[in-house]
Amino acid sequence: MHAFTFHRQTEPETQEISRAAEVFQTTLQVLKNRVKQRYKRDYRVTELLSGADLDLITELSECPSALHPVSCQPSHLSKYRTITGVCNNRQNPRWGAANTALVRWLPAEYEDGEKEPKGWNRERLYNGFQLPLPRTLSREIVRSACKSNDEAYSQLLVHWGQYIDHDITMTPQNSASPVRTGKDCSNSCKNVEPCFPIQTQDACCDAQGCIPFFRSTPDCFVNPQYDTQQALQRQQLNAISSFIDAALIYGSTPHLQSFLRGPNGKLAVNNAVRDPKKRPYLPYMPMLPTSCLQNLQEPHWDRVECFIAGDVRVNEGLPLTILHTLFLREHNRIAEELKHINNHWNAETIFQETRKIIGAVHQIITMRDYLPKIIGSESFQEFIGPYRGYDPTVNPSAANVFATAAFRFGHGTVSPILPRLNESFQEHERFCHLRMHATFFSPWRIVNEGGIEPILRGMIGSAASVASSKMLVAEEVTERLILMNSVERMDLASMNMQRGRDHGLPGYNDWRKFCGLRRVRTLKDLAEVVGDYRVAEKVLNIYKHVDNIDVWLGGLLESLLPGARTGPLFACLIGKQMKMIRDGDRFWWSAEGIFTQQQKNELLQFSLSRLICDNSDVGEVLPDSFQRGTYPCDYVSCDHIPSMNLEAWREKRLDLQQCAYPGTIKNGDFVLSTTSGKLVALYSCSHGFKLKGSAAIVCEGGRWNGQPPQCT
């Protein structure tokens, strides 16, 4: 159980909401069961309870949204983001914030109208037929023994997709029910909350005939903007902020951020191990020993524990860990230079300014370099288009269909091999290429096998895989996916489809209609969309009806758009989501007042190639590391890669001449901001301390208008 659930461990704040949601859901179920026993028929909650009743149950369940309504304090109006994303939108403080529900662009489709997933009752018919088992679909349609190379792009493009997805969404799983029977989902093939096992009908994965599967954690907040019936439908939680804000580096909760911070505005680094050039690695997790895999061939070597970062999934694969490592080093490099440029800045200002820069470059790489390659330039113009400024009417929260289906398109681009290359971008003499399954939860391969460079060169120097209807997802992740030291073999494709059913996602055709695309009605229609008659025929033979096709599989099967790595449905859904994330973010890097024009010009100089040059031992790169090139003719020296000039962040100290430096406080710090032309010191406390007094003091008439607060 520990091994299976490790990669979805959540922060205390998320666990609190999860438990409250369980109490809320269980209370409703108990009431329904008792009424059914008395009156011998099923009732919906809306027939039994008034709005006032539901408000009371929400409060008694200790749902945080009911007990602690959001109020945007002066500290939330700072020039920096809150760590949770709350109060980004001042009128709707929870939009885009961590630990809020994934939004619905189409109403959920549950078998009981409220919470039972599609396929929960196996005998239920859809359009006259049972839904096919996800495992059957995975083995008959999705699984591919080989993959074609992408002629245009490197593996880094694929890994950036996973990396940036971890900055936008994380749906925690209900690994153990705190208020129900405590059912052990790893030893049961029955659909009993919170278990929704994937039936296998084969013996390759589990002798029981199923793969363990935990339902996603529900949200417990009854949103007053919806009618009661829609509000009571089970909604899934996004445990992290939906903004592109580098939360996977810094965390989405004060608790985690406080652990990740180091001295002098830097991030904490590993005190036990360094790379051969003494560059830092990510810190180890605090609870030792961890469950990450070890080198069984060299048992006498020191243990290499799981790393910790702002996102709990940092150890899922070596490329992901390497991107985290590069940005840890980049934060500390920038922080050190900013301190040299502005030696009057305190640690809080250095940290927040650096975090602001790192968040901005995440946005730039994603919008400028990544998305046009994924959805194609035409779809980018159609669904995203030029930036017009911050729009407070746009809800930037991640959509359920985006998190659960559309942005999982990348699973079809995963290569079965992760190359390790030497300085000449040839196969490494000491470290052989790795099968993808050998990269999961194995940070020891970085620490003990040459640092990040061999794999990093493999990421930028090797071709990505491309999905096609005949070769969708590599066997490495449908047959050999492992989670820590679990004995279970997992199937990523089956899990994707089961997750979509768990979330009550409408089918493929409904989403085509949502995007203004023509519905698929016949085998001929499906063949045109897929681009292969035999594949379309096989799909329809298994599903029996076109309206039963799962949205993830349907979207993955579509022929790729010109110059894109997705078909038209996923291009639409990804484009719509990214536009909302951009336009609904008050702190978007190019929004008015976030950076000066000079700073914006410097930010545009940033590239992943420069990141690699500044934070690794790789000395030659491609100008665009997402592109595929041939060594040495397409590569250039790092000396020719542009870099940001941080002099654009040099700050004059003229304002401080009016009031001198504001007082420091114990267990807290301040940042300086300008509001209505006046200098303001905004104080905040370290995690675990409560602010006593005014959070803000203002420089007026040559003096501060109050005393600094205390942190108790």
List Cβ neighbours of 577 (8 Å cut-off, separation of 6 or more): 398, 399, 402, 406, 407
Longest dimension (CA), the chain: 80
Query: Is residue 411 a known part of a binding site?
Result: yes
d(CA 222, CA 24): 10
Q: Where are the beta strands (DSSP E) in 331-421?
A: 417-418
The span from the CA of 397 to the CA of 380, in Å, is 20
pLDDT of residue 7: 41
Q: In the block, which residue shows the tokens 């560059």?
A: 279
- As a three-state string, the secondary structure of 473-522 is EEHHHHCCECCCCCCCCECHHHHHHHHHHHCCCCCHHHHHHHCCCCCCCC
Q: In what order do the strands lie in the sheet with 678-685?
A: 668-675, 678-685, 696-700, 703-704
Mean pLDDT by 10 residues, the chain (712 residues): 41 83 86 89 81 86 72 71 94 93 95 92 94 93 80 95 97 65 73 90 60 88 59 87 98 92 96 93 91 82 92 95 98 98 94 98 98 98 97 98 96 90 95 89 93 97 86 71 56 93 98 98 96 94 97 96 96 98 98 96 98 97 96 96 97 68 87 79 86 88 88 92
Round to whole Å and give the CA distance between 29 and 25.
Answer: 6
Per-residue confidence (pLDDT) for residue 230, from 0 to 100: 64
Distances (CA, A) of 707 to 500, 560, 686: 54, 62, 19
pLDDT at 76: 52
How many residues are present in the chain? 712
Q: What is the pLDDT of residue 654?
A: 52
The sign one gets for the Cα dihedral 161, 500, 556, 147 is positive
Choose the catalytic residue: 76, 159, 166, 428: 166
The whole-angstrom separation of Cα 412 and Cα 252 is 29
pLDDT at 121: 94
C-alpha pair distances (Å), 300 with each of 89, 439, 442, 444, 447 = 53, 21, 17, 13, 15
Q: At what angle do helices 453-461 and 318-341 cross, to 10 degrees?
A: 110
| CB proximity list for 595: less than 8 A, separation 6 or greater | 360, 589, 603
Backbone angle region of 19, left / alpha / beta, with phi > 0 → left and psi within -120 to 50 → alpha:
alpha
Which uninterrupted H or E stretch holds 214? none
Q: What is the pLDDT of residue 9?
A: 56
The β-bridge relationship of strands 678-685 and 237-238 is unpaired
Q: Is 439 helix (H, G, I), strand (E, B) or coil?
A: helix
Nearest residue to 683 (alpha-carbon basis) of 709, 704, 655: 709
Helices (H) and strands (E) counted in the chain, each on its own, are: 27, 18
pLDDT of residue 221: 62
- The DSSP secondary structure of 30-93, one letter per residue, reads HHHHHHHHHHSS---HHHH--HHHHHHHHHHTT-HHHHS-----GGGGSSS--SS-TTSSSSST
The pLDDT of residue 580 is 98
Quote the pLDDT of residue 484: 45
Angle between helices 12-39 and 51-60 (to 10 degrees): 130
Domains by residue range for the chain, with CATH: 1-649 (1.10.640.10), 656-711 (2.10.70.10)
Active site residue 166: yes
Q: How high is the pLDDT of residue 643?
A: 96
pLDDT at residue number 371:
98
